[in-house]
Amino acid sequence: MIGLPGTDTMIKQAFADVYGKERSTKFFDRFLNEFVDERDFAFLKSLGVNSLRIPFNYKYFIDDQYPDRYKEEGFAYLDNIISLCEKYEIYAILDLHSVPGGQNPDWHADTSSGLPLFWEYGALRDSVIGLWGYIAHHYRNQPWVAAYDIVNEPSMVTNAEVFNEFYRKVIAEIRQFDVKHIIFIEGNHFTTDFSMLDPIDDPQVAYEFHFYPFVDEPAVLTHEMDRTRRKEIFAAAFQQLISIREKYKRPIWCGELGLVFEKEDIDFQVTIIEDMLDLCEENDVSWALWTYKDAATMGIVYPRAETPWRQLTEQIKQVWNQHKEQEKGEALVDYMAETYFQPISKEMRYPLQFRMRTLMQVICVEQNLKPFLQELPWEDAYQLPESFHWDQCETWDELATLIRKYTTI
């Protein structure tokens, strides 16, 4: 999302290896504090946005060496954003985007193993259960925090008892301190499969799914597919997801939808977003786009091409492409199996490619991130976060126009 290879932890370690731990900490503190400001919120308000899903890493609150002690550091960052939400009357939804061990095997869960180990160890889950109590106590009287999004995109959960027990315990922990705020529950398989989850007896619980239908049907992203056919595929996938509303008799929310935008294809891509948003509106489902701002990937706002951050990431892009990682991971797994063992099934390849990609990420950080940082003086590196300042960014106006079509109704 920010145009650098590796997980969040790997990237921060790379900065520490090149510039030293103290400077790395100083860099990312500036990055977080300056990523958005009042000008961003004024723009969000102009779009008609009424809620903002705020992702955060557990490591801002938990030191892996002392998991039973919760840090206040994370509140400094969240409070800053929530104060802007309050000023501009935009509700905040707190999204725990990564947990100890990883809730799914992908890079955005900040896992270094390619395994969702969070679901294998009760001690890891207990630390997050306690964390949500800590967070709920802090925000129990904050009316502009709308909801707690317990864990982003669980996946490869194999034990239904563990899955349900975690949600029961974390909800009970939150309700010790806060009985008012909404709690969002996400399903398995990157929150598209709710078959394991039992109903929760809590009037403030709602269910969240994410809508990326092109993951299973990549042809919908091509110009060759007729738009009518694309809408049919989208509608079938959407109806399956929203069936959880009837199953649980609870409100539902599409917490993520979006795609990677390309300048030469933006008009076509906006029609894809329009088809997805139409389904939300027609079925009375509230929605959130992923994401607001990044390094010209899925965000509606992104640094201009001439900014130092984009200059750095464009250089890196010549030797690394995140969107090719899965393809390469699968190819390497196949090569290993065919060369040293026997060919493997598609079902076996899928989980193994995540593990292969963690090895690839280690190599990519070492060969495709650190060398660029080593050539960049600290004084220049420290100025990189300025690239995300509002006056250094541009927007997808086509997407902004589309959003206003729905928010001004």
Positions annotated as catalytic residues are 153, 256
Dihedral angle, C-alpha 7, 257, 103, 105, nearest 10 °: -60
- Rounded Cα–Cα distance for residues 42 and 47 (Å): 9
- Rounded Cα–Cα distance for residues 128 and 150 (Å): 9
- Rounded Cα–Cα distance for residues 84 and 78 (Å): 10
- Rounded Cα–Cα distance for residues 23 and 65 (Å): 22
| Residue 32 C-alpha from the chain's centroid | 16
Query: Of 157, 147, 34, whose CA–CA distance to 101 is shortest?
Result: 157
- Rounded Cα–Cα distance for residues 400 and 395 (Å): 8
- Rounded Cα–Cα distance for residues 67 and 131 (Å): 9
Q: Is 315 helix (H, G, I), strand (E, B) or coil?
A: helix
* Amino acid at the residue 97: H
In contact, 211 and 239? CB cutoff 8 Å: no
Partner residues linked to 175 by β-bridges: none
Tokens of 162: 């563990």
User: Please, which residues have CB within 8 angstroms of residue 181's CB and are 6 or more apart in sequence?
Assistant: 136, 139, 140, 145, 146, 147, 148, 174, 204
DSSP labels for 178-200? -SSSEEEEE-HHHHTB-TTPPP-
Q: Is 393 helix (H, G, I), strand (E, B) or coil?
A: strand
Peptide bond into 297 cis (omega under 30): no
Cβ-based neighbour number of residue 73 at 10 Å: 12
